[in-house]
Amino acid sequence: MGINAFTKTGNTVVFTAAVSAPTPVQVTNSTIGGNQYRIINAGTSVVFLGYGTTAAEATTASANVTSSGAAFPLLAGTDEILT
């Protein structure tokens, strides 16, 4: 699989995280390069992006972080592209 540049014309989803996990958001994309997601942590704290096959799984993963859980750490001020 080749490397695709980030497609800036994709959909935008914004949500705000606080002490508790925010309401889950399912991101859908119908543009070219839809398998890439740009994640920006514009805050001043580390956050954990939970993922799963259901909203409940994603919320639990982000709220109860373990070494084997389904959560991706995002350092403060980072910009990540996930493929």
Q: Which tokens is 44 given?
A: 């001043």
* 16 vs 23: CA distance, rounded Å: 9
Q: Which tokens is 45 given?
A: 């704290």
Better-scored residue on pLDDT, 9 or 54: 54
Going from N- to C-terminal start, the domains of the chain cover 37-82
pTM over cut 0.75: no
Better-scored residue on pLDDT, 49 or 11: 49
Q: Name the percent of the chain lying above pLDDT 90.
A: 5
Better-scored residue on pLDDT, 76 or 14: 76
Average pLDDT on 33-54 reads: 82
Q: How confident is the model at residue 31 (pLDDT cuts 50, 70, 90)?
A: low
Burial degree of 50 (CB within 10 A; 0-12, 13-18, 19+): buried
